[in-house]
Amino acid sequence: MRTETERHQFQNDPGQSVIDFIKRFVAESPLNRLDAFGNNAIFEDPLVGFASGGDPLFGEYKKIIGEHHLTPQEVMENGGRPPGRNLSVVCWALPIATDTKKGERREKTYPSRRWGHTRFYGEQFNDALRNAVAGMLEDMGYASVAPVASKFYWMSASKYAANWSERHALYAAGLGTFGLNDGFITAKGIAMRCGSVVTSLELPPTPRTFKSHMANCPYVMDGSCGRCMERCPSGSISAQGHDKTKCFNHMKTVYEKFHEDYQVQIIGCGLCQTRVPCEMAAPKGKTATAQV
């Protein structure tokens, strides 16, 4: 249940209310905490953007990603909610805590324990945020579905394919672009987790100001940087891009070696997201320097 004040604020400025709700949840949720690391926050202040559900880009994703990738309308149908005419996609990027990134910078082959906990518990928090945002919007009278937290969501075991890509939703919502390593470079960097909710609430789309879908990666734009190639311990990144098979095999090794010790069911790797110029922000071409 929402208070009368919350409802009033929402009616006055729904877009700002959604942004405030997400920021407050990140700041206050006890789930956004790392028990094993001094109860410090997993994620810092988020970025939030909105895409129009009718953006032609979502239709193009059927060609770029594959027919299996759902449009916002299909997300609503699959979630058992009315498809609606003026759908929006609420998107957020959760920057990983600076201390976690600093620790990961020192690693050369395998991710740190703190990175592993961030990947595992951070995604549990992110799921809670997805459900909270969809629940708040439903409370306000707008049909809403969090695709990645829904029963119809699937991702192939190799992680090559899924029926909803949150990074592509973030691109549509103007929050950043892709990088050489397949990560998503936002104004607060590439080391982040992201989330999305499709809703019948009409919100003003965040402008996409990028020249291309890889504009935040200087290697792709002018041949500079390329630091993630040196950083990757498994040779998964080259001038040709990201070799998903090699990367997947390295992550499998990481999991087998560390999941008992770290006591988590997912660990990730993330070395190519730290000690690189795009770690904390979108780098500026040939002047880019890595965080050390």
Contacts of 232-239 with CB under 8 Å at 24 or more apart are 232/181, 232/271, 232/272, 233/108, 233/109, 233/110, 233/271, 237/180, 237/181, 237/272
- Rounded to 5°, angle at Cα 123 from 118 and 125: 95
> Which of 46, 176 has the CB closer to ligand SF4?
176
Question: By CB neighbour count within 10 A (0-12 exposed, 13-18 middle, 19+ buried), where does 156 fall?
Answer: exposed
Stretches 114-122, 124-132, 154-162, 228-236: which one binds ligand SF4 (CB under 6 A)? 228-236
Q: Under 8 Å CB-to-CB from 291, ≥6 apart: which residues?
A: 101, 105, 274, 275, 276, 277, 279, 280
Q: Could you tell me if residue 120 is left (phi over 0), alpha (psi between -120 and 50 degrees) or otherwise beta?
A: alpha
Phi and psi torsions of 169, nearest 5°: -65, -40
Among 170, 198, 271, 280, binds ligand SF4 (CB under 6 A): 271
Contact flag: residue 191 with ligand SF4 (CB under 6 A): no
Contact flag: residue 147 with ligand SF4 (CB under 6 A): no
Residues 97 and 42 sit within 8 Å (Cβ to Cβ)? yes
Least Å from the CB of residue 132 to ligand SF4: 28
Contact flag: residue 225 with ligand SF4 (CB under 6 A): yes
Among 69, 81, 168, 227, binds ligand SF4 (CB under 6 A): 227
Stretches 23-31, 49-57, 150-158, 212-220: which one binds ligand SF4 (CB under 6 A)? 212-220
Stretches 56-64, 68-76, 129-137, 233-241: which one binds ligand SF4 (CB under 6 A)? 233-241
Q: How many residues at the interface with ligand SF4, by CB under 6 A?
A: 26
How many angstroms separate the CA atoms of 147 and 198, rounded? 7
Contact flag: residue 118 with ligand SF4 (CB under 6 A): no
Stretches 63-71, 148-156, 196-204, 274-282: which one binds ligand SF4 (CB under 6 A)? 274-282
How many angstroms separate the CA atoms of 207 and 173, rounded? 7
Contact flag: residue 217 with ligand SF4 (CB under 6 A): yes
Least Å from the CB of residue 239 to ligand SF4: 10
Interface residue list for ligand SF4 (CB under 6 A): 179-181, 190, 217-219, 225-228, 232, 234, 236-237, 242, 247, 250, 269-272, 276-278, 283
